[in-house]
């Protein structure tokens, strides 16, 4: 009797263990399948973005840039102006700002063109010295180097290069017009678009979805406005620094370095490299080169520790790893436009992930962990003064 009871108990225990193991495996498989589906969704989304780039790039640029003018458009409407006129004035202001930047670049570029012959001679001299250095170090004479350059050029004629250049200019003009038209329409129908988004969610989730849409738009708006303010401050600092060093057309290179700041990590290095090459082409000595590097280091220090915390702040709470990954991925998908749009789009994506339970781990992975400190830093004191 005892033996049979013991056998029944062992069978029941084994059956319970098997059921528990099966339940654990099924739960693990369900979570794994959900993760795989989410990753597959992201992969398919990136593929769709890549192939639909010619259509989506102007639309996305217009949508992000239009968020920059929502507050100004609301202010104009509060003064009794119709939404159509307010949206049109926002577009006029945007075009005027771009025209001002182009005017500054063109004005300084005229002075740069006047010295183009001397710069050509300087570049030829530098290239000749480089060829002799290659011959001394690698044993490849000048004739072989010229043949290698011709082979790399692939024998492309000037006609094809001119046609491709003209085609590129036409594409830029067409896309610029499309961006302006899309911006006007986004500002005009922003309430209609928001109502459409809210109709996609159930009635019980409308308040939550409304908050997500509001936060996403607010993040992009504050980030872009803070970035624009920081670029203007960088223009002033680079202009003063380059003028003191003695760089020709200092305002041109200051504006160029400031504009390239819209691409984090890459833009500032590119602008400084172009400035250094131009200084060398202008015949600048080692003192001028060191001056440009010191100006760059000083401006970057002020930007990193004062301007970004004070002006831009933590509007886009993304850690540096995913910032770089987003920029690289954006360039692979949409080129330069993808690098410009990477940070604000990633910030909006993080807000969506933070409010969707299944996506919250991804939002946590993209974000940064804030460490509370009892001490109040210098930047916090300045912020408190501005907030008051």
Q: What is the pLDDT of residues 250-283, one digit of tens each?
A: 888 888 888 888 777 677 778 888 888 777 776 6
User: Distances from the Cα of 14 to the Cαs of 24, 27, 65, in angstroms?
Assistant: 15, 20, 64
What is the Cα Rg of the chain in Å? 29
Domain assignment present for residue 233? The answer is no
User: DSSP state, 307?
Assistant: I
Residue 101 forms part of a structural domain: no
Q: Which residue has the tokens 């501005």?
A: 386
What's the pLDDT score for residue 100? 86
Q: Judge whether 252 lies within some domain.
A: no
Please state the rounded mean pLDDT for residues 23-34. 62
Domain ranges, residue 365: 317-369
Q: Is residue 330, in this structure, part of any structural domain at all?
A: yes
pLDDT per residue over 154-176, tens digit each? 544 555 655 666 666 777 888 88
State the pLDDT at residue 373.
44
* CA gap 23, 176 in Å, rounded: 57
Answer yes or no: is 204 within a domain.
Answer: no
Q: What is the pLDDT of residue 183?
A: 92
Under the banding of pLDDT at 50, 70 and 90, the label for residue 124 is: low
Lowest mean per-residue pLDDT among 31-45, 99-113, 114-128, 261-275: 114-128
- What pLDDT does 122 receive? 62
Q: Among the ranges 82-86, 139-143, 325-329, which has the highest mean pLDDT value? A: 82-86
User: In the chain, how many domains are there?
Assistant: 1
Let me know how many helices (H) and strands (E) the chain has, helices first: 16, 0
- Helix axis angle, 267-281 to 250-259, nearest 10°: 160
Write down the mean pLDDT value for the chain: 75
Examine residue 134 and state whether it is found in any structural domain, yes or no: no
Beta-carbon neighbour count of residue 239 at 10 Å?
19
Q: What is the pTM of this model?
A: 0.70
Q: Taking the C-alpha atoms of 357, 358, 360 and 362 in order, what is their torsion angle to the nearest 10 degrees?
A: -170
In a domain, 365, yes or no: yes
**Residue 58 tokens, joined:** 């102007």
| pLDDT tens-digit readout, 36-49 | 777 788 788 888 88
Angstrom distance (rounded) from CA 87 to CA 84: 5
- Residue 114 in any domain: the answer is no
Give residue 181's pLDDT: 93
């Amino acid at each position: 009797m005892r033996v049979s009871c013991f056998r029944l108990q062992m069978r029941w225990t084994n059956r319970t263990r098997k059921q528990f193991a099966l339940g654990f495996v099924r739960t693990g498989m369900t979570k794994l399948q959900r993760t795989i589906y989410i990753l597959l969704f992201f992969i398919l989304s990136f593929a769709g973005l890549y192939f639909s780039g010619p259509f989506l790039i102007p639309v996305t640029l217009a949508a992000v840039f239009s968020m920059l003018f929502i507050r100004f458009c609301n202010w104009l409407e509060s003064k009794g102006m119709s939404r159509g006129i307010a949206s049109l004035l926002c577009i006029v202001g945007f075009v005027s700002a771009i025209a001002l930047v182009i005017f500054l670049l063109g004005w300084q570029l005229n002075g740069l063109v006047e010295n183009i012959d001397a710069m050509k001679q300087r570049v030829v001299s530098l290239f000749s010295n480089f060829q002799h250095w290659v011959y001394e170090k690698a044993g490849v004479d000048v004739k072989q180097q010229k043949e290698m350059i011709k082979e790399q050029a692939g024998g492309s004629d000037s006609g094809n290069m001119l046609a491709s250049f003209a085609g590129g200019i036409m594409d830029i003009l067409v896309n610029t017009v499309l961006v302006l038209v899309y911006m006007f329409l986004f500002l005009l129908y922003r309430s209609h678009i928001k109502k459409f988004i809210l109709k996609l969610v159930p009635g019980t989730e409308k308040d939550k979805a409304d908050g997500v849409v509001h936060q996403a738009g607010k993040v992009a708006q504050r980030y872009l406005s803070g970035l624009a303010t920081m670029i203007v401050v960088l223009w002033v600092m680079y202009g003063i620094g380059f003028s003191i060093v003695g760089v020709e057309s200092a305002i041109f290179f200051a504006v160029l370095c400031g504009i390239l700041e819209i691409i984090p990590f890459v833009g500032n290095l590119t602008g400084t490299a172009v400035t250094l090459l131009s200084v060398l082409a202008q015949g600048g000595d080692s003192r001028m080169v060191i001056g440009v590097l010191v100006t760059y280091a000083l401006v970057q220090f002020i930007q990193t520790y004062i301007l970004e915390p004070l002006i831009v702040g933590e509007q886009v709470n993304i850690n540096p790893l995913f910032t770089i990954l987003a920029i690289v991925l954006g360039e692979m998908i949409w080129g330069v436009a993808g690098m410009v749009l990477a940070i604000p789009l990633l910030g909006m994506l993080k807000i969506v992930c933070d409010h969707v339970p299944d996506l919250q781990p991804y939002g946590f992975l993209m974000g940064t962990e804030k460490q509370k400190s009892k001490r109040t830093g210098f930047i916090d004191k300045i912020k408190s003064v501005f907030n008051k």
